[in-house]
Chains A and B, each alone.
Chain A
Amino acid sequence: MIADTREVLVEVKNLRVEFKGKGKKPFVAVKNVTFDIYKGETFGLVGETGSGKTTIGRAIIRINPVAEGEIRFKGQRISGIIPKELDREVTRKIQMIFQDPMASLNERAKVDYIVSEGLYNTRNYKDEKDRQAKVEKALLEVGLLPEFASRFPHEFSGGQRQRIGIARALIMEPEFIICDEPISSLDVSIRAQVLNLMSSLQKEKSLTYMFISHDLSVVRFIADRIAVIHKGEIVELAETEELFRNPLHPYTRALLSAIPVPDPRVEREKKVLVYDPRVHDYSVHKPKWTEIRPGHFVLGNEAELSQYEKLLAS
């Protein structure tokens, strides 16, 4: 098994995230979520609107409090109450890139400030000269010119803005970047530029990515492993090609069948499967998160698992 030899960077165990309303029962956004992210890989997290994929990302970066379970980064627990130094280290080592580059940049601040805000907050620079050098380096790394530092976000196109968002994350010299739908709001041709930039940065700096997206075709291209999340629970997790070859959970199958393929002949022939949660009978036997094949996890009860076994064998 290859998995054992790889270093685990992030561990998420039995994660549960709740949102409390006034006097109401708390809303459970994420439950029983368990996965590891290995160093240097791109981990894809795929799900529909409201499935809790962003919530997981925000829980890792300590924005959303964890109700149950724990999150470990390089072996240290980073969920719940942690020492101040560790908190600062997490802030530095884990960064996030957001979906909408139009909304995630401060309209009133210059690029110089936007990119160095993290440095200011963690006082992670020697002097003004050092800060400027760092900003310049970060901008060059994402393919922007250093003189852009004195401009405002509205002077840039969508793709350039997303590059600023990436520069802002890079300047902290992170090890782990959570990318929350980083290319969903970009045009097709600009998407390719940003995807290429992200892969080359990953190689150069041996970064680890968690790539959150609803678009399986993009995730297939960029991710090494994919977890599929439905209504706050991860239903299947496998290496990318394994997941596309042998999707087991009915929800995964439905999701895969719905991806539009840029090929008219294939597209006209295809049958879209519809996922109906009622196919699961969990009244007696509760579902368990099981490793059905090395590295291939699926959520199911005993009857379903034996059915999945048959599917894999055929």
Chain B
Amino acid sequence: MSEPILSARDVVVKFSLRGQILTAIRGASLDLYEGKTLAIVGESGSGKSVFTKTFLGMLDANGWVDSGSIMFEGMDLAKLKTEREWLKIRGKKIAMIFQDPMTALNPLRTVGMQIQEVLELHQGLKGEEAKARTIEILGQVGISDPAMRYHQYPHEFSGGMRQRVVIAIAVACNPRILICDEPTTALDVTIQAQILELIRGLQKKLGLTIIYITHDLGVVANVADDVAVMYAGDIIEYGTAEEIFYNAQHPYTWALLSSLPQLGIKGQPLYSIRGTPPNLFNEIKGDAFAPRNPRALKIDFVKRPPYFQVSPTHYARTWLLDPRAPKVEPPATIKAMRAKYARDAI
């Protein structure tokens, strides 16, 4: 495999809240490969947004990268301090699309100005030249009659169109990495399909590397080459989309997949995970998922599992993969899925 474009190692992120220290990211590592799409899945509070925000220096003022490194173009992003240093990266090399297109745009300025601003700031374009380029970008993200739309305000755009504008702002500077934080959660399914298609097209055209942050496994299946599953501030399983969907190894990934209504059988209760995610103010001992895992091993409560390699591209943080571990059968839904996919493959 080629060299990773971005490589995060043992990143620890802490927040100080009301005098207490919260560890939001507990030593997460990640490699991102050029031209690929990585999806980070997890529930709210699992740290998927916080983790990617460290790539952009966008943590809230009370948060900081405590240890670990994030290597990008020979630089360690975890060491960047000043806003001036970050401006060379953020928006220019690594850009981000946010969840809610209603709040991401400035309602008082025309759509054209908001895109042009980025071009003027990062690429030094001016006047007519910047305007022409802005209109070109608007056309590129699928907005019809861009010359007229240039002068309009966000409220004159529908939700899907606004998300297109947000995407236009993000890709205006030809970034190398595009981080999409739940880009379609606020949109209808038919619009969602169009936006995913647009992002895919732009990826091909501009050679983007994309990180999707989402909790929707349907979207993951649609877009991802690779998938990272996060739980309680840690990446607990990583693999190609096929490996995660068809051959998941971590009990949390099993639970996540089994609780999908799409895979449920009507009239029977859905598989559901007991309890709630751990409180990150407390120190977590062992496997963070153990208290909610009905089949947890004794060692899960004592020692944090290392990564076990399943294939060159697939690894998981669970003691179940240790050669000494007893054989634990995955839940019925997962077995049924594996069988079904095995049949489909033939």
Contacts and interface: CB of A to CB of B under 8 A. Distances in A.
Genuine A/B complex? yes
B266 A262 contact: no
A280 B120 CA distance: 46
Contacts, number: 115
Interface in A204-222: 214-218, 220-222
A272 B255 CA distance: 29
Interface in A33-49: 48-49
A217 B259 CA distance: 12
A155 interface: no
B263 A262 contact: yes
A199 B269 contact: yes
A154 B208 CA distance: 41
B219 interface: yes
Interface in B227-262: 241-242, 245, 255-257, 259-262
A63 B270 CA distance: 33
A195 B261 CA distance: 9
B259 A272 contact: no
A260 B216 contact: yes
A270 to B, nearest CB: 8
B217 A188 contact: yes
A214 B189 contact: yes
Contacts of A259: 189, 218
Contacts of B264: 192, 221
Contacts of A268: 222
The CB with the most chain B CB atoms within 10 A, among A189, A195, A214, A216, is that of A189
A221 B269 CA distance: 10
B190 interface: yes
A120 interface: no
Contacts of B276: 157, 159
B272 A192 contact: yes
A138 interface: no
A188 B270 contact: no
Interface residues of A, number: 42
Nearest to A189: B273
A188 B273 CA distance: 10
A187 B215 contact: yes
Contact of B259 (A191, A200, A263): A191
A132 to B, nearest CB: 27
Contacts of A191: 259, 261
Interface string A160-184: 0000000000000000000000000
B245 A262 contact: yes
A263 B245 contact: yes
B256 A217 contact: no
Nearest to B269: A196
A192 B189 contact: no
Given A188-B215, A188-B259, A267-B218, 7 more contacts: A188-B43, A192-B261, A195-B270, A254-B190, A264-B222, A265-B341, A272-B197
23 contacts: A157-B276, A188-B215, A192-B259, A192-B264, A195-B261, A196-B270, A217-B218, A217-B260, A220-B262, A221-B270, A254-B190, A261-B221, A262-B220, A262-B260, A263-B245, A264-B222, A264-B224, A267-B218, A267-B221, A268-B222, A272-B193, A272-B194, A274-B194
